Amino acid sequence: MAVVSEHSLERIPSRQGRAIRLEAQSVIEVVNTFGSQVLDTWAFAVADPTEHMSMEHTRSVNSRWRVGQGTVFVSNRRRPMLSLVEDTSAGVHDVLLPACSPEIYRELGCTGWHASCEENLHAALAEVGLAVPFMPGPLNLFMNVPLLASGALDRQPPKSRPGDRVALRAEMALWLVFSACPQDMTPINGVLRTPTDAHYRLV
Amino acid sequence: MAVVSEHSLERIPSRQGRAIRLEAQSVIEVVNTFGSQVLDTWAFAVADPTEHMSMEHTRSVNSRWRVGQGTVFVSNRRRPMLSLVEDTSAGVHDVLLPACSPEIYRELGCTGWHASCEENLHAALAEVGLAVPFMPGPLNLFMNVPLLASGALDRQPPKSRPGDRVALRAEMALWLVFSACPQDMTPINGVLRTPTDAHYRLV
């Protein structure tokens, strides 16, 4: 692994999305700089963006409902796309809930426009000239959604700490998209309900 | 509720899919005639088939990872689409795994063509003049996928019995699609690994 200085860190601005092109076998490290920022994450094959990272297929191929270090995320065609190769956090990530969207902010009582991970995904793809007519379920890095025995699920602040890192290896040439979740009406991005920047670097 | 004779039962042929148009507030009863047939189930809004039943959004709106009698399944726009209003079975249904697809049968060692729920969905929609450029995660009625504390998931034969019924109420005008799952290489459709017909009727 190359020695990389702090200066090579790139910013994922608070409440925004970023599309990043990764070649096969390259590794990207994503840093939860302030410790409690959820990052909705998607991947699309460069060769054909209708091939996308799929949480359903990932559960099927791995025979696991929980993901963590070592999980290989696969596409809707069951091909490896992204491996979670290192994780310094508590290892709590969500793969069950959708991206936040304009509709959920209206449900929560927001009357004007509110940034959302759904809009961030489409905007980030548009910046690199891509559009997809669907919305895959995301890998919600650092998002803490405990499943209760009753069948209910809870939404808790992240268990990650400032500087926690997750390293992801691309298993094919892909567009990776991160959205620094703009949710500020629930504690999903921490008890302060204050979305923050996050950072990444290629390693 | 109208008195409906046995003769009004319609067939979902073994290994095949059917698209059924439902008006808002109509109820359809689906019968697991032989007791251990999984039915992959999708819904699409008549007004705009890009609005589809979504398991991620259903988990979010209901704050539950497990579904059952009383669950209101919502669309990717968080609007009610389908309610599970009655269930005579053990109530075990899956909302985590994808439809079976050509790729999984190749993984399992199948060398020729094998029917799949993914192909069945697209074929059933094509029969009514529809096409969608995506593949929503299905509601897998009667599919028994226990979640283990270890983070693993298992695949077991259905807990339903011959004649068990699930009643679903349409909450908007929609196209409902059932696929009688053709999986015959694992025990997901019962220990005999023999996909069967199922039936439905409008009530």
Cα separations (Å) of B188 from A27, A83, A165? 37, 28, 38
**Cβ within 8 Å, pair B152-A64:** yes
**Scanning every residue of chain A, which has its alpha carbon at the shortest distance from the alpha carbon of B67?**
A151
Q: In this model, does residue B181 exceed pLDDT 90?
A: yes
A75 touches chain B (CB under 8 A): no
Tens of pLDDT, residue by residue over B140-157, are 999 999 999 999 999 999
The total of other beta-carbon atoms located within 10 Å of residue B25's CB is 10
**Cβ within 8 Å, pair A56-B137:** yes
d(CA A37, CA A34) in angstroms, rounded, equals 7
Residues B49-84 as b/e (b if ≥16 CB within 10 A, e otherwise) read: eebbbbbbbbbbbbebbbbeeebbbbbbbbebbbbb
Report the pLDDT value the prediction gives residue B4, as an integer from 0 to 100: 47
**Cβ within 8 Å, pair B65-A137:** no
Q: For residue A20, list its beta bridge partners.
A: A176
**Scanning every residue of chain B, which has its alpha carbon at the shortest distance from the alpha carbon of A105?**
B78
In Å, how far is A5's CA from the nearest CA of chain B?
36
- Residues of chain A falling short of pLDDT 50: 1-4, 6
Please list every residue in chain A whose beta carbon sits closer than 8 Å to the beta carbon of residue B50.
133
**Scanning every residue of chain A, which has its alpha carbon at the shortest distance from the alpha carbon of B138?**
A56
The residue type found at B116 is S
In Å, how far is B28's CA from the nearest CA of chain A?
25
Predicted ipTM beyond 0.90: yes
Tens of pLDDT, residue by residue over A21-40, are 999 999 999 999 999 999 99
d(CA A79, CA A183) in angstroms, rounded, equals 32
**Cβ within 8 Å, pair B151-A63:** no
The pTM of the whole model exceeds 0.90: yes
d(CA B203, CA B86) in angstroms, rounded, equals 12
Tens of pLDDT, residue by residue over B24-39, are 999 999 999 999 999 9
Report the pLDDT value the prediction gives residue A8, as an integer from 0 to 100: 87
In Å, how far is B157's CA from the nearest CA of chain A?
16
**Residue in B59, B135, B155 closest to A96 by CB:** B59
The answer for A 167-196 residues in CB contact with B (under 8 A) is: none
In Å, how far is A66's CA from the nearest CA of chain B?
5
d(CA A93, CA A77) in angstroms, rounded, equals 23
B70 touches chain A (CB under 8 A): no
Following CA atoms B52, B58, B60, B66 in sequence, which dihedral angle do they give, to the nearest 10 degrees?
-150
A107 touches chain B (CB under 8 A): yes
**Interval B65-70 mean pLDDT:** 98
